[in-house]
Structures are given as C-alpha cells and as structure tokens.
Amino acid sequence: MNPDVLVVGGGNAALCAALMAAEAGASVLLLEAAPREWRGGNSSHTRNLRCMHDAPQDVLVEAYPEEEFWQDLLKVTGGQTDEKMARLAIRASATCRDWMRRHGVRFQPPLSGALHVARTNAFFMGGGKALVNAYYRSAQRLGVQCRYDAQVDRIEIAEGRFVAAWIGQERITARSCVLAAGGFESDREWLRQAWGQNERGEWPADNFLIRGTQFNKGVLLKHLLELGADRIGDPTQAHMVAIDARAPLFDGGICTRIDCVSLGVVVNREGRRFYDEGEDFWPKRYAIWGRLVAQQPGQIGYSIIDAKAIGRFMPPVFPGVRANSLPELAQKLELDVDAFMQTLDDYNRSCRIGSFDHTQLDDCRTEGLTPAKTHWARPLDTAPFYGYALRPGVTFTYLGLKTDETAAVRFQGQPSENLFVAGEMMAGNVLGKGYTAGVGMSIGTAFGRIAGTQAARAALKRAAHADA
C-alpha cells in the first residue's frame, strides 16, 4: 500500500516532517539511505539547537529575543539571508521544545566547556543520537514505516507535481513528498569541481574532511536541479570548521573540532598567521575557520597554545603535539623554525595585556601587528606548548532548493502543490554564508515541521478528492 506522504531522508528534518504528517493523520513512509545503525545523518552528531526566548526558560538562562537572534544571523551571513524565512525559523525556535519533548527528546543545561551558549542554545540529553533515536521510536508508535538502505536515486515529476520516487528499479508512489536528504557534502567529486583549482595549482577540496555522515551525497539535490527546480546558494559555501587533521574522512563528529583557536595563534604551513584569532566569541567564529584554512597553502593550519590555555576549552579527542619550547614545537610540527619563531616573537611582543576574560570581548589585544588579534591576546610564553594541525572539516553545504514559508519546492517561481523540502537541502534560504551555532537544527526543525504539515494537508486533500 502506497503512503499518503513519502519522506526522503532520515535525519532531524525528515523525522520532524514524518512526525508532523503522521500527527495530522497521514500514512507515512520514510526512506533512509543509511543502514539502520548509521541512521540519522548529520543530525545524530549534533548537540543543541538555538532558541529565541524573552525570559529564562527551562534550560535557557536570561533572554535571547528575536531581534538579537536575527541580528546575529544578519551579521554572520553578511546579509545573505532571507529575512522572512529567517524570522520564521527564529520564531518557531521559541515554541518547538514542548513538541520535541512530547516525542521523547530530553534537554539538559549546557555542559562545561560549551562556552557562551547557556543563554542561546538548548542542549539535547545524550546528544543528537539520542534525539534521532527518540524520534524514530515516536515515529514507530505513530505508525510511520521506516526503510533503511533505501537511497532514492530519482523522483518523477509531472508539471511540478510529485508522482513517484525510485530506488533502483523500484517505483514508489505517494500523494505528496518531503525531501530532507541533506546537502552534498559527502560527494567529494562535486566538492572538488565546486572549489576548482587554486592559483597554486592545488585542488583544495582534496584535502577536506567530512565531519558527518557519508550518506549525504546530494543525489537528489543534483537531480532536482537538473529537473529545473529553483536553486539557492553557492556550491562553495558551507559550514566549515577547522578540525584535527588526524580526523577520519567521514563521521569524525564533534570530538575532532579544535576549540582553542581564540586562546592562541594559528599559523599556516609557512609559519605565518593569517587571520584575527580573537575576532569574536568562538561560537560565532568557529565556522569560518574551515574556510580560512582551505585558503592556505596545502589546506593546512596549526593552532598553537601554551599552558595557560589548558582547561579553558573543550579538549579534542586526540592530544596535541606537546613541546617544552616554541622552537621544539615548530620542529615537531615540521614547520620552518625560523619563520615560525619570527611570527611568534612578533606576536608575543605586540600583545598589550589588559584584563584577560575569555567570557567577554576583553581588552587583551595586539598593537601594530598584521593581522591583529583583537581579543584574548596574551603572549605564548608558558611551557608546555601545544600544537594541533588543522584541516577544513565540512559540516554541511549551503547550495539548495529555493523555497518559501510553505517549504514548497519551486519550479520557475511556481510552488509545487505536493513536493516539499526541509533541512540542509534548503538551509541556504537562510544561510547564504556563515553560521551561528545551533541554527542548523533550528532551521531543520522549523521547516521539517512545516513541510510535514503541508505534505499531509496536500495528501489528505488529494485523498478527499479521490473519494469524492
């Protein structure tokens, strides 16, 4: 029996859509490309979602009003965002937690080490894996059918309407469909073509690591764009973090992130600094460092700290390279010792020490140094010293399908009646570039729920017509 609503994908956005559609009375089939043990996509790696609130609420302290959330988003995207869509996601973030709880998600106060986010981000107890598992359990209770190892290769469209999805030779029809199959971050060839060759003759994407699932290959994104669906975003824009160069190619997750950048300096392969490490709070800046490293020779950087930084950041899974002096550290990192020491000596000399406070945009900064370090600048002078080699870690890509407040896929500006999109596949409508921590899950939850509601409405309307 074919379902009312077909949901393609198995992460947060897909599950939110499936749950909403089932709650609205539709029969739902969810198709997840991954095997059961790897279900949940990038969502299973998450820790939190960003929530607006006007007063303290359960796990959130103080207030984080709509306007502040919007200004944060405006700043990180440099204006490359759609205000209507962004505000919709922001407002939805105020009220979604009760619904999430009803489906088994539990929240906890921020863990120590998750700096600055007690006010803005609600953390999932057990992380994204527990969230995803709770949603699958709830979906099962509501009668949602889930199939694993079910990668949809293409869909059939007639005059902008969804007709069927194909898995190999198998054709699955439904009255409506939600696409929530992630970005294209795991298609390394697509990344390679998108990033192209640089002025040094390198193919930068060859040195990228993928932080999340290997199943987000963008098969349907590419297919939909070929079918003429309206697009949004630039294929080189993505959430990209500087991660430990020793991380695995896929699924290294959160524990490979290197979070000590703002406490020290970062140099490239030539031993030179290339960006202000103390520009802003880390949750507002961590997602630009992948791109910054991608622009360096060999797509590699080195985060350098001294003993004063220890205990002030979430320790990554692999220990840093440790040395008792800076020249020894340079040697161990295989950097040119003279160039490295020149950079470090210049930096140490230029630090104007104020009152160091990592919870504030403090007054410790460099003077007369290019690039400047504008906050938390303290000389690196206390052994032992540590260095971490950094590679660009792609979290998710922003190229997606253009949509509107109804989450409908559009063909030449016309919204489809029964094909909807949610999550990474449309996050580019809100995120033209940049990122602020936790907004991926805010977007996926808001638009997953909208897409599920709309898909159920479209399907049930069609069923009523068929019965009439």
Closer to ligand FAD by Cβ: residue 34 or 292: 34
> Are 179 and 421 in contact, with CB atoms under 8 Å apart?
yes
Q: Could you tell me whether strands 400-401 and 408-411 are parallel, antiparallel, or unpaired per DSSP bridges?
A: unpaired
Looking up tokens 């890509």, which residue turns up?
Answer: 397
The stretch among 28-36, 137-145, 227-235, 317-325 that binds ligand FAD (CB under 6 A) is 28-36
Q: Which of 4, 7, 12, 26 binds ligand FAD (CB under 6 A)?
A: 12
Residues 6+ away with beta carbon under 8 Å from 51:
57, 60, 64, 93, 94, 96, 97, 120, 121, 122, 438, 442
The stretch among 12-20, 77-85, 136-144, 328-336 that binds ligand FAD (CB under 6 A) is 12-20
Q: Which of 215, 302, 340, 385 binds ligand FAD (CB under 6 A)?
A: 215
Closer to ligand FAD by Cβ: residue 9 or 452: 9
Count, residues in the chain:
468
3-class secondary-structure state, position 456: helix
Closer to ligand FAD by Cβ: residue 29 or 34: 34
Tokens encoding 126: 């057990």
* Smallest distance from ligand FAD to CB 138, Å: 16
* Smallest distance from ligand FAD to CB 126, Å: 13
* Smallest distance from ligand FAD to CB 276, Å: 24
The stretch among 97-105, 200-208, 212-220, 342-350 that binds ligand FAD (CB under 6 A) is 212-220
Q: Mask 60-89, x = binds ligand FAD (CB under 6 A)?
A: ------------------------------
Q: Which of 11, 320, 432, 434 binds ligand FAD (CB under 6 A)?
A: 11
The stretch among 29-37, 341-349, 364-372, 410-418 that binds ligand FAD (CB under 6 A) is 29-37
Residues 6+ away with beta carbon under 8 Å from 376:
262, 263, 277, 278, 356, 358, 362, 364
Closer to ligand FAD by Cβ: residue 166 or 203: 166
Restricted to residues 87-146, the positions that interact with ligand FAD (CB under 6 A) are none
φ and ψ of 452, to 5 deg: -65, -45
Tokens encoding 328: 């020894």
Looking up tokens 């003993």, which residue turns up?
Answer: 307
* Smallest distance from ligand FAD to CB 10, Å: 3
Restricted to residues 163-182, the positions that interact with ligand FAD (CB under 6 A) are 180-182
Residues 6+ away with beta carbon under 8 Å from 345:
none
> Are 293 and 241 in contact, with CB atoms under 8 Å apart?
no
Q: Mask 250-289, x = binds ligand FAD (CB under 6 A)?
A: ---xx-----------------------------------
CA dist., res. 258 & res. 265, Å (int):
12
Q: Which of 26, 28, 48, 90 binds ligand FAD (CB under 6 A)?
A: 48
Peptide bond into 327 cis (omega under 30): no
DSSP H stretches of helix in 179-305: 188-195, 219-226, 282-285, 289-294
Tokens encoding 409: 């896929």
> Would the CA dihedral through 96, 99, 105, 107 be positive or negative?
positive
Q: Mask 390-429, x = binds ligand FAD (CB under 6 A)?
A: -----xx--------------------------xx-----
Tokens encoding 303: 């985060």
> Are 424 and 440 in contact, with CB atoms under 8 Å apart?
yes
The stretch among 39-47, 82-90, 102-110, 295-303 that binds ligand FAD (CB under 6 A) is 39-47
154: number of Cβ within 10 Å:
16
Size of the site for ligand FAD (CB under 6 A): 44
Closer to ligand FAD by Cβ: residue 214 or 348: 214
CA dist., res. 325 & res. 381, Å (int):
9
* Smallest distance from ligand FAD to CB 211, Å: 4
Residue type, 143: G
The number of CA neighbours under 13 Å toward the Cβ of 286 is 22
> Are 176 and 459 in contact, with CB atoms under 8 Å apart?
yes
The stretch among 259-267, 271-279, 347-355, 436-444 that binds ligand FAD (CB under 6 A) is 436-444
Q: Which of 53, 103, 211, 391 binds ligand FAD (CB under 6 A)?
A: 211
CA dist., res. 91 & res. 84, Å (int):
11
* Smallest distance from ligand FAD to CB 78, Å: 19
Residues making contact with ligand FAD (CB under 6 A)? 8-14, 31-34, 40-43, 45-49, 150-152, 180-182, 211-213, 215-216, 219-220, 253-254, 395-396, 423-424, 438-441, 444
